[in-house]
Homo-oligomer: A and B are copies of this chain.
Amino acid sequence: MKITGTFLDEISHDIPHQNWGRAEWDADFSHMKAVGIDTVFLIRSGFQRWLTYPSKVVMREEGGYEPPVDLVKMFLELADKHHMKFYFGLYDSGKYWWKGDFQKEVDINLKVIDEVWKNYGHYKSFQGWYLTQEVSRRTGKVIDLYAKLGKHCKDISNNLPTLISPWIDGKKAVMAASSTITKEDAVSLKQHESEWSEIFDGIKGVVDAVAFQDGHIEFHELPDFFAVNKKMADRYGIQCWTNAESFDRDMPIKFMPIKFEKLRMKLEAARKAGYDKAITFEFSHFMSPQSAYLQAGHLYNRYKEYLKTL
């Protein structure tokens, strides 16, 4: 199964920054294209006070810091240049919905959506929206949040597609800053299906695709969880993608590029489950030949060899 999309990890929560300028990003889009990636997804446009573009909304209302570079503009220009599609990731306050106030998270994002569409909606490559608030369970009023934000994104942009990328609350669902790599209380397949059926029912029509992160469960659990996700997505008319994580969750260093064998297993599991599309988190740190992690360049080579076998 071929990876045709990647997240752009700006602003990052937990992956050290590579300090690339425009030249490096331009080259990276070329590297992506060379292996068939046609879509980039901005993981989030802002987090707490940090911003990827000079958002008047977030600077005024949340004390956002004015960024030195307008990354949204740069990514759109590069996507235009390389004939790729760009999905805009919304703003994550890092507080409102984290503390239960989902409506306030919706409110600030409605303004961000308006601002962004006005400023950047004319770019040819602006082709979709990423609802950046990630959950693993039916947490708080997340259905309401997805429904309202997804609807507004689509309404304002002549129905451009929307994507969410939840994680599965599996054994490896631990905090990045935790010293452990596994936990005891993983979600059961049944409970996962029950909660996500309810969520999908509440967001059908306004969320076009779901790409579950594939790294929080054990490798032998992939077939069962992937089958359930596909079944649910089909039932509610949502496209079922996989978010193939290209970093390794089994190592004490958080995080380094994944062993190719593991990535291959996850992609094969998605293929066998009949998934529609594979994207990755994320190319530039973990699969790029110019990554600061040299293991990534070797992963790129192994992945290219794999492509030839498809």
Contact = CB atoms under 8 A, between A and B. Distances in A.
A256 interface: yes
A180 B181 contact: no
Contacts of A254: 252-253
A19 B260 contact: yes
Contacts of A302: 19, 21
A248 B264 CA distance: 31
A122 interface: no
A251 B14 contact: yes
Contacts of A117: none
A209 to B, nearest CB: 29
Interface string A296-310: 001101100100000
Interface string A1-33: 000000000001011111111001000000000
A184 interface: no
A237 interface: no
A301 B21 contact: yes
Contacts of A36: none
A63 interface: yes
Given A179-B177, A220-B63, A295 B18 contact: yes
A255 B251 CA distance: 10
Contacts of A179: 177-179
Indicate how many identical chains form the complex. 3
Contact of A14 (B67, B252, B291): B252
Contact of A19 (B49, B176, B181, B257): B257
B219 A49 contact: yes
Interface bracket on A? 35 or more
Given A49-B219, A181-B177, A65 B265 contact: yes
Contact of A252 (B63, B177, B294, B298): B177
Interface in A159-198: 176-181
A292 to B, nearest CB: 4
A220 B18 CA distance: 23
B177 A17 contact: no
Interface string A51-69: 0000000000001010110
Contacts of A65: 219, 261, 265
29 contacts: A12-B259, A14-B251, A15-B251, A16-B251, A16-B257, A16-B259, A16-B295, A17-B248, A17-B258, A17-B259, A17-B260, A18-B294, A18-B295, A18-B298, A19-B259, A19-B295, A19-B302, A21-B305, A24-B298, A49-B219, A50-B261, A65-B219, A65-B261, A68-B260, A68-B261, A177-B180, A179-B179, A292-B293, A292-B294
